Amino acid sequence: MTEPLLRVDALSVDSLSVDSPGSGSPGGALLRDVSFELAAGERLGLIGESGSGKSLTALSITGLLPDGLAADGSILLGGAQVVGSRERDLVELRGRVASVVFQEPLTALDPLMRLGRQIAEPIQRYRTLSRAELRAAVRDALVEVGLDEVDRIARAYPHEVSGGQRQRVAIAMALATRPQLLIADEPTTALDVTVQAGILDLLDRVISERGMSLLFISHDLAVVSRVADRVVLLRHGEVVDRGSLADLIARPQHPYTRELVAGARELDSAIDNPGSLA
């Protein structure tokens, strides 16, 4: 078999900056010269403290920056340019190439629509199915994200299921369009620790089973280490460090990386020795 001439990354962000041009703020750009690549099937963690620019990066990638903010540079999503693209083309890219899971599942869910219908919508957008086939596809989608009682959940409204179940449904919706890349923006931050572990295991499994790429965004190195192979560290809108997770943890170079690694170790030993928390 011959090697392909051109390897298309799932995502390639090159010299991305985000500005708030109308604001006249003297602070300058919100993101500056952010660059990273994500190969097909790879898992990258984007780490940074609150306000470092993680969400603006995710919104830039999906072409969803709020009004008043402008992106510059290049973002290739499955080989297609996002920066400067028309909304019509971006709609096609979202879903087909990349889907997003947010911190708060209610962002993605309509409170007035039964969950089964909400999952059926993205499935129908990309596949022509009979009613019976569609019902089976919705059940399969719920089973894939580890939910039991799928008939009850399909008939329920978002407020009638638990927070963890809602996040699983939101993940099922994000996966329903068969994207190549899943962008998970702090998907477990709003959940308690045991539920969090279940969602991380789920992401780990579906990403492997489907051979997808994952961009996992979090402020928490310990959480990222559960699902990512490589990380990019953002601080004040700039990339300050990057590398394989194993290298960064074993040999942290940048002061911010050292701080993060020390913090994650402290938390880990506090969990192992609960008395040390007192």
Ligand X SMILES: Nc1ncnc2c1ncn2[C@@H]1O[C@H](COP(=O)(O)OP(=O)(O)OP(=O)(O)O)[C@@H](O)[C@H]1O
Among residues 219 and 254, whose Cβ is nearest to ligand X? 219
Among residues 48 and 95, whose Cβ is nearest to ligand X? 48
Residue 266 tokens, joined: 């402290």
Residues 215-254 that bind ligand X (CB under 6 A): 219
Among residues 101 and 176, whose Cβ is nearest to ligand X? 101
Among residues 144 and 186, whose Cβ is nearest to ligand X? 186
DSSP-assigned letters across all residues of 180-217: SEEEEESTTTTS-HHHHHHHHHHHHHHHHHHT-EEEEE
Cα-Cα-Cα-Cα dihedral sign, residues 238, 241, 244, 249: negative
Residues, the chain: 278
Smallest gap from residue 183 Cβ to ligand X (A): 12
Collapse the DSSP code of 45 into the 3-class scheme (helix H, G, I; strand E, B; otherwise coil) and give the result: strand
Rounded to the nearest 5 degrees, what angle is found at the Cα of 39, between the Cα atoms of 191 and 190? Answer: 5
Smallest gap from residue 239 Cβ to ligand X (A): 13
Among 53, 63, 105, 116, binds ligand X (CB under 6 A): 53
Smallest gap from residue 135 Cβ to ligand X (A): 37
Among residues 118 and 188, whose Cβ is nearest to ligand X? 188
Q: Is 51 in the site for ligand X (CB under 6 A)?
A: yes
Distance (Å, rounded) from C-alpha 53 to C-alpha 56?
5
Smallest gap from residue 30 Cβ to ligand X (A): 4
Smallest gap from residue 20 Cβ to ligand X (A): 5
The separation between CA 68 and the C-alpha centre of its own chain, rounded to angstroms, equals 23
Is residue 87 classed exposed, middle or buried when 0-12, 13-18 and 19+ CB atoms within 10 A define those classes? Answer: exposed
Among 12, 32, 37, 55, binds ligand X (CB under 6 A): 55
Distance (Å, rounded) from C-alpha 136 to C-alpha 120?
10
Among residues 25 and 208, whose Cβ is nearest to ligand X? 25
Q: Is 135 in the site for ligand X (CB under 6 A)?
A: no
Is residue 150 classed exposed, middle or buried when 0-12, 13-18 and 19+ CB atoms within 10 A define those classes? Answer: middle
Cα-Cα-Cα-Cα dihedral sign, residues 147, 100, 53, 74: positive
Residues 21-50 that bind ligand X (CB under 6 A): 30, 48, 50
For residue 31, list its beta bridge partners: 18
Among residues 48 and 78, whose Cβ is nearest to ligand X? 48
Among 12, 14, 19, 20, binds ligand X (CB under 6 A): 20
Among 39, 40, 69, 150, binds ligand X (CB under 6 A): 69
Among 4, 66, 111, 274, binds ligand X (CB under 6 A): 66
* Helix (H), strand (E) at residue 110: none
Smallest gap from residue 180 Cβ to ligand X (A): 23
Smallest gap from residue 117 Cβ to ligand X (A): 30
Distance (Å, rounded) from C-alpha 62 to C-alpha 81?
11
Using CB under 6 A as the criterion, which residues of the chain lie in contact with ligand X when the complex forms? 20, 30, 48, 50-56, 66, 68-69, 219
